[in-house]
Amino acid sequence: MSPMTTRPATSADTADSSFDDLLPDRWREGDNCRSVVATDSSGRVLGHCRGIDNSFHPDSRSLVLEVAEEAEEARGEHSWAEIADALLEAQIEVSRLPLRLKPATHETELLELCARHGGVLVQLMPPWRYVVDEAMRTWAAAHRTTPDGLHATPIDDARREEMLDLYVEHYTAQHARWSPAAAPAELRAENAPDFAPGGDGSFDPDRSVVLLRDGAIAAQALAWPPEPDGGIEISMESRPHEGPTAREDMEACLAAVIDRSADEDVLLIDSHVTETLESAMMRDVPGPPPHPEDTWTAIVGIPVPGGPTPIPLPAAQIPLDAVPLAERLRG
């Protein structure tokens, strides 16, 4: 078998049209912004990976990994696993923080890669695709008003700063137990452009809603720009996080979003298994049978020498239908 080596990616490598997201090493300032390629004896690029400093979660890095298509002329004698192993090992060597991946149940190769490199299961996310249909509209009709008679309303631009405050507050509480977030001031600065009117990544003001109680925002549902497949991510926040009215408040917000959606719209609503209130809420939202690839997704931390240890998800919090995924990560 011809030898395979890894090296820092160069600007010349980025011209390779075989890869969608290949950037040169140290593509921006910072010692930790590393990009690596794997090459064969002829210098052909077989794959690349990049560790991305996570401004939202400073104790981990997100990993982008891409291996050449299965065609023999693209990979030569090397398997996906061999190339991925070499890339991950190279990235571990230059990283000071755990690397984070999100393999879904159907992504067998990625799950096996995590298992081979001591991946720690830190979180589980259930299927998140909800298709608007008559059953969802019936659910919305039953949940659009809270027990104390409130309902969600369109956003008011004058409240965008308050909406940003709630987003940061909820996000911080939501991740505190398993992936501590950056300081609130940093999160606020990172997210501020998304809450400015007309921003490229801003939520859709026509589909997003807030619920007011005693003159302040108690909950909100934000509809973000469509994903490449047309799905629309919906994020929901409440104050206080997991408070006594949080579920009913978020249900009223989600009901309002459904009312503003067309039949067959795909709403992407993620939740974490550790978020018991939100997970229970989403289990009650009806929908058609899930897409074959809409399965449980794991959040996995790959340890690196000298870096902080990823916080494992307690075994007692793994639902029965996610146990097979968790077991595959154990190897």
pLDDT at 288: 64
Measure Cα distances from 167 to 20, 93, 146, 181, 265 in Å. 31, 35, 21, 13, 24
Sort residue 214 into left (φ over 0), alpha (ψ -120 to 50) or beta. left
Q: Percent of the chain having pLDDT more than 90? A: 73
Structure-token pair, residue 118: 């001591």
Residue-wise pLDDT for 79-126, tens only, equals 999 999 999 999 999 999 999 999 999 899 999 999 999 999 999 998
Sign of CA dihedral 253, 254, 257, 258: negative
Q: Across the chain, what does the average pLDDT equal? A: 91
pLDDT band at 270; cut points 50, 70, 90: confident
Residue-wise pLDDT for 305-317, tens only, equals 999 999 999 999 9
pLDDT at 7: 96
pLDDT band at 27; cut points 50, 70, 90: confident
Q: What is the DSSP secondary structure assignment for residue 113, as one 8-state letter?
A: H
301: exposed, middle or buried (Cβ count in 10 Å: 0-12, 13-18, 19+): buried
Q: Whole-model pTM?
A: 0.89
User: In the chain, where do the E strands start and end?
Assistant: 5-8, 35-39, 45-53, 61-67, 99-101, 120-125, 129-131, 153-154, 209-213, 216-223, 232-238, 266-268, 297-302
pLDDT at 291: 59
Distance of alpha carbon 324 from alpha carbon 304, whole angstroms: 26
Q: How far apart are the first and last CA of the chain?
A: 27
| Residue 130 near residue 287, CB atoms below 8 Å | yes
| Residue 274 near residue 177, CB atoms below 8 Å | yes
Q: Percent of the chain having pLDDT more than 70? A: 94
Q: How would you list the strands of the sheet with 35-39, edge to edge?
A: 5-8, 35-39, 45-53, 61-67, 99-101, 297-302, 120-125
Residue-wise pLDDT for 52-81, tens only, equals 888 899 999 999 999 988 645 556 688 999
Element housing 171 (H / E): helix 160-175
Sort residue 198 into left (φ over 0), alpha (ψ -120 to 50) or beta. left
Distance of alpha carbon 26 from alpha carbon 34, whole angstroms: 5
Q: Which residue has the higher pLDDT, 31 or 281?
A: 281
Please give the average per-residue pLDDT across 209-225, as a whole number.
Answer: 97
Please give the average per-residue pLDDT across 234-254, as a whole number.
Answer: 95
Q: How many residues does the chain have?
A: 331
Measure Cα distances from 132 to 145, 208, 231 in Å. 19, 16, 11
pLDDT at 289: 65
Check pLDDT > 80 for residue 21.
yes
Question: Does residue 127 have a cis peptide bond before it, meaning omega lies within 30 degrees of 0?
Answer: no
Distance of alpha carbon 159 from alpha carbon 166, whole angstroms: 11
Please give the average per-residue pLDDT across 241-262, as a whole number.
Answer: 96
